[in-house]
Amino acid sequence: MIIDMSARIIDGNAIAAKLRAELAHEVEILRSHDIVPGLAVILVGENPASTVYVNAKERDCKKVGILSRDIRLHSEIKQDALLDIIEELNADSGIHGILVQLPLPDTLDEETVIKKIAPEKDVDGFHPMSIGSLVLNLDGFIPCTPHGVIKMLEAANVEIAKADVVIVGRSRIVGAPLANLMFRKAEGGDATVTVCHTKTHNLAEKVRQGDIVIAAAGRPNIITADMIKPGAVVIDVGMNRIEDTTRDSGYRLVGDVDFNAVSKVAGAISPVPGGVGPLTRAMLLYNTIESARRRLV
């Protein structure tokens, strides 16, 4: 039976705006010490979604006073040439964070490119050393989307410790690092975490156990109302384009959650767009500022 509860909407735009205001103050403090946080963003090719996302990141940098260096490269760039650019940025004292927008063209090896970024400038948190630090609960850069999910839950006053959390999706960008964050013995952790994936049997039954459900599968509307325990908190990380002939663009963005139906069962839910996305970008700023702050030590 589905109970109509009219879930509280967790507004990612509002949470991110408040966080950016706090980060802008941090930038002012750094500037008083003659340190201007610098972020280099490398975009290879003209993937429409990546272009929109990079443009948004650059606007966010401007809002908080971070220097943004925009490097746009042809999709046919050779890997050695891209690695040389990253090496130059590694050596540039005015750049505190390096982000290579993914996905890269098939002609480039993402693993090699990510490993080339200096770990101390890996503000995306994808370098093996960053992931290793996360797993071992050591200091290091946390991947932006998982960190954004934690910040969103905290801002919404959702108790993570002792909660039963179900994560649908095990990607190394979201699902896997988020699971590590939420079960580790630290602030934002101490949850009991179940990770579901394409080989999971009885998905609906497992998802219904979650006090907190995080959808990060990359499949439109995979999470339906009958899969949600009444009153559960649902965070939708999915960002999927589906055809919509009523719009000039020819498409609209939806998440992994059937929002209209699930919002009648859940206690709180994040929308798409306007949910996790703004927090992902905010945490990129956070990591860049943290990298610059380490210059003061």
Q: How many angstroms separate the Cα of 62 from the Cα of each of 55, 56, 88, 169, 225?
A: 11, 10, 23, 33, 40
Question: Pick the catalytic residue: 57, 116, 121, 229?
Answer: 57
Catalytic residue among 60, 101, 121, 256: 101
| CA–CA gap between residue 257 and residue 225 (Å, rounded) | 9
- For 164-297, strand residue ranges (E) read 164-168, 192-196, 212-215, 233-236, 240-243, 251-254, 268-269
Torsion angle in degrees (nearest 10) through CA of 114, 120, 121, 124: 60
Rounded to the nearest 5°, which phi and psi values hold at 181? -60, -40
Question: Two tokens at 236?
Answer: 């939708």
Distance, in Å, from the CA atom of 190 to the CA atom of 202, rounded to the nearest integer, reads: 25
Active site residue 226: no
- What does the CA dihedral 85, 90, 95, 100 come to, rounded to 10 degrees? 50
**Phi-psi label, residue 106: left if phi above 0, alpha if psi -120 to 50, beta otherwise:** alpha
Per-residue burial over 38-75, b = 16 or more CB atoms within 10 Å of its CB, e = otherwise: bbbbbbbbebeebeebbeebbebbeebbbbbbebebee
Measured torsion, CA atoms of residues 21, 25, 28, 33, in degrees rounded to the nearest 10: -150
DSSP code, position 40 = E
CB-based contact 114:79 (threshold 8 Å):
no
Catalytic residue among 124, 211, 236, 258: 124
**Whether residue 57 lies in the annotated active site:** yes
Q: Tell me if residue 264 is catalytic.
A: no
Q: What distances in angstroms separate CA 89 from CA 1, 78, 82, 94, 215, one per listed residue?
A: 56, 17, 11, 9, 35
> Which residues form the catalytic set?
57, 101, 124
